[in-house]
Amino acid sequence: MKKKRLSISERTKITSQINDISKFYFDLDLFKKTFPYHKLNNELARVNAYNKKRLHGAILYELLSKVSKEDIEKNRSDLAKADTIETTDTTSVNKTDKQSVANSEVEGNANDEKNNSSENKKDNNKNANSDNIEKANVVTSKEKPKVEKKTKGKKKQEEFPKIDWVNNIDPNIQTAILLYDERVNTYHRMQEIDVLIDHTC
């Protein structure tokens, strides 16, 4: 890579010709390979927008003391191609990742639809079971044997003539009315149970 040594004026002229700030990092890469222990590396570690152009000229000037203009341009071209290949690979990876994400989303949506379908079926089954239970209750209530109410019997006035059933203001009369009504209801319930037991046996 070592070429004919250039004079100071030649190096200055070529530096001015090829000083393209967009190629800074390509030239910086070559500089670090050529001068791994150069004192300029300390300043290059703190490169910024203000000193970048000046430092670029400095590394080109130093490079031209070891390599030719053609070597610098070849290095730029090689790194640019490598960067293009890496960018293409990254783009391909990104496309693959996006496709994987899209496929995952499609699979996720399909699973959600299946889950929703399963849940809907479960809900429909529950509703159907509820409807069947309600229908069964309706049928049971329709088929439930009617109990003939006892039409003949003593009225409470006849059964307990000493109680003034009309005077419902008296607490004792109120208690008597409640007890009597409860006895009547209990009696009718017993009749219903008796009929059901006869049908089930």
3-state secondary structure of 130: helix
Phi, psi of 5 (to 5 degrees): -65, 130
For 41-60, the pLDDT digits (tens) are 888 888 898 888 888 988 89
CA–CA distance, 97 with 160 (Å, rounded to integer): 93
Q: pTM, whole model, 2 decimals?
A: 0.42
DSSP assignment of 82-137, as one string?
Answer: HHHHHHHHHHHHHHHHHHHHHHHHHHHHHHHHHHHHHHHHHHHHHHHHHHHHHHHH
User: Which is more confident, 3 or 160?
Assistant: 160
For 82-109, the pLDDT digits (tens) are 877 766 666 555 666 666 656 655 566 6
Question: CA angle 45-62-7, nearest 5°?
Answer: 165
- Residue 142 burial (CB count, 10 A): 7
- Tell me what the mean pLDDT of segment 175-186 comes to: 85
* Helix 24-34 / helix 52-63 crossing angle, nearest 10 deg: 40
Tallying the residues shown for the chain, one arrives at 201
Query: What residue spans define the domains of the chain?
Result: 1-125, 145-200
Whether the per-residue pLDDT at 179 is higher than 60: the answer is: yes
Whether the per-residue pLDDT at 171 is higher than 60: the answer is: yes
Do 79 and 64 contact (CB within 8 A), yes or no?
no
User: Which is more confident, 25 or 138?
Assistant: 25
User: Which is more confident, 134 or 79?
Assistant: 79
